Chains A and B, each alone.
Chain A
């Protein structure tokens, strides 16, 4: 056997992950339903909440009360619902298995998905920010950096939870669960509407949701410029539990 035959023929890990990230991003962006979920519905929510008085009392101006929740909704659309459904069907069609036989491997696959989630999320945040600024949004500048941190933490948490569902149940069930969860979390999970608006008896349960932690943390940051340490701890715990369960329970085929 010639000496060149025994060397690695794989490009470097960062290069593999970058390639896969680009591939996964294009897959997400070329899917019509995912675009509706990622861009169209959040923008409708932004207009709806800005031009009604549904969020009265949350902030002096309704646009300022609406934007943080819409950004939280973007995280759930992309990291949880969109990514979960995509991964569920990849698993069904053996795509995960196929990629895990290439130099990309399982770790590369996951990192590729994380890059795609972050890229699509960045596009969403830029779009929402532009539309919101045109509508007269005035965020609290002290809260920008904490908000970015919360968006990243939220993306990690919901990616782990999305992978957990996609890796354990049938793709049809993943589709149903993650879409239903999106609707419920958006409506009553503390994403668009602060938990203080919920009935008192429901609040302790809702407090335990990662969606509430994310929504409330973004509102605290972008409305009051306040950094919510409790929300950070909460999101980190959810991310850790979700990742641990996903690693333990994920079935590749």
Chain B
């Protein structure tokens, strides 16, 4: 099903050096090492990694802003390098630093950029949606980080692009604007746009992404849908901690081998090593025996963060 769709972006074996770096005796620093990825229309493709992992560098190469040392990039079937206005008219970019002129006001700037497109997006609707009017009388210099982010997102959407690159779109946003931005991104995805975004926030990646590439030290360490990644290796050594609350200072029974039960704070209990339904059965039969009804309980799922940490650790030990 997926393979019959033409990817909007294909990156293969991308490598990029920066430098010369004085700390490395003026040698070049390899910041991307053989990064390959694909982004499909109608999907949010996320590059997840910590700061400095190479996410923004990958985007800058894909946008044709930075020339790589090796590898190939195909954006909408074309080479992103060279001054190609027709290609750029179909691609929207939100830069990490925004690139907004400080002395301009947001709405005239947005209308100016929208003027470069034959069929821009409905600008008035976008202004309302992102509530740009609320700070429209101020120059960009006087906007908060979150307000600038909203302006930068509006600029990226101005040309109603087929491919949308968003570098850390949720940085600096308050919870309310974050929701607006996430809804907008999901809507664009549902309209069939290919969205490529970077984030270092697991939560954002988990909420937004259809497909995730985890990038660490300039390499893609793993990839998959959020479900694939979070269920990955579940059969091998799944270990789901259970937390529950009950009256303080309960006398704790001896758990089966491999499990460990402790009271982490008065009335808060933590059971580690849970890897089968039998283990839960042991816990609930203890409650039944003693007449304990927990005030709350939860079984921690494997999160994208666990996957990320696991791979980051593997990298460390290699």
Residues on A lying within 8 angstroms of B by beta carbon are 1, 5-6, 8-11, 13, 16, 19, 23, 27, 30-31, 89-90, 93-108, 252
Contact = CB atoms under 8 A, between A and B. Distances in A.
Contacts of B155: 98
B203 interface: no
A55 B88 CA distance: 54
Given A19-B112, A97-B95, A103-B159, A9 B83 contact: no
B20 to A, nearest CB: 15
Interface in B51-103: 63, 65, 76, 83-86, 88-91, 93, 95, 97-103
Contacts of B63: 101
B118 A101 contact: no
B103 A8 contact: no
B26 to A, nearest CB: 19
A101 B91 contact: yes
Given A5-B90, A94-B98, A105-B88, 19 more contacts: A8-B86, A8-B90, A8-B118, A11-B115, A11-B117, A11-B118, A16-B85, A16-B116, A94-B95, A98-B95, A98-B100, A101-B93, A102-B113, A103-B88, A105-B83, A105-B85, A106-B83, A107-B83, A252-B65
A6 B93 CA distance: 18
B89 A98 contact: no
By Cβ-Cβ distance, the 7 closest A-B pairs, closest first, are: A98-B99, A94-B99, A10-B89, A8-B86, A101-B93, A9-B89, A103-B85
A74 B199 CA distance: 48
Contact of A95 (B99, B115, B116, B160): B99
B41 interface: yes
Nearest to B102: A93
A102 B98 contact: no
Contacts of A23: 112
Interface of B: 6, 41, 63, 65, 76, 83-86, 88-91, 93, 95, 97-104, 112-113, 115-119, 155, 158-162
A1 B6 contact: yes
B94 to A, nearest CB: 9
27 contacts: A5-B162, A6-B76, A8-B90, A8-B118, A9-B161, A10-B116, A10-B118, A11-B115, A11-B118, A16-B85, A19-B112, A19-B115, A27-B101, A30-B103, A93-B100, A93-B101, A95-B99, A95-B100, A97-B99, A98-B93, A98-B99, A101-B63, A103-B85, A103-B117, A104-B85, A105-B84, A105-B85
A31 to B, nearest CB: 7
A138 B45 CA distance: 69
Given A105-B83, A105-B85, A9 B97 contact: no
B99 A9 contact: no
Contacts of B88: 10, 101-103, 105
A189 to B, nearest CB: 30
A252 B118 CA distance: 27
A93 B116 contact: no
Nearest to B76: A6
B143 to A, nearest CB: 13
B165 to A, nearest CB: 8
Nearest to A252: B65
Contacts of A6: 76, 90
A110 to B, nearest CB: 11
Contacts of A11: 115-118
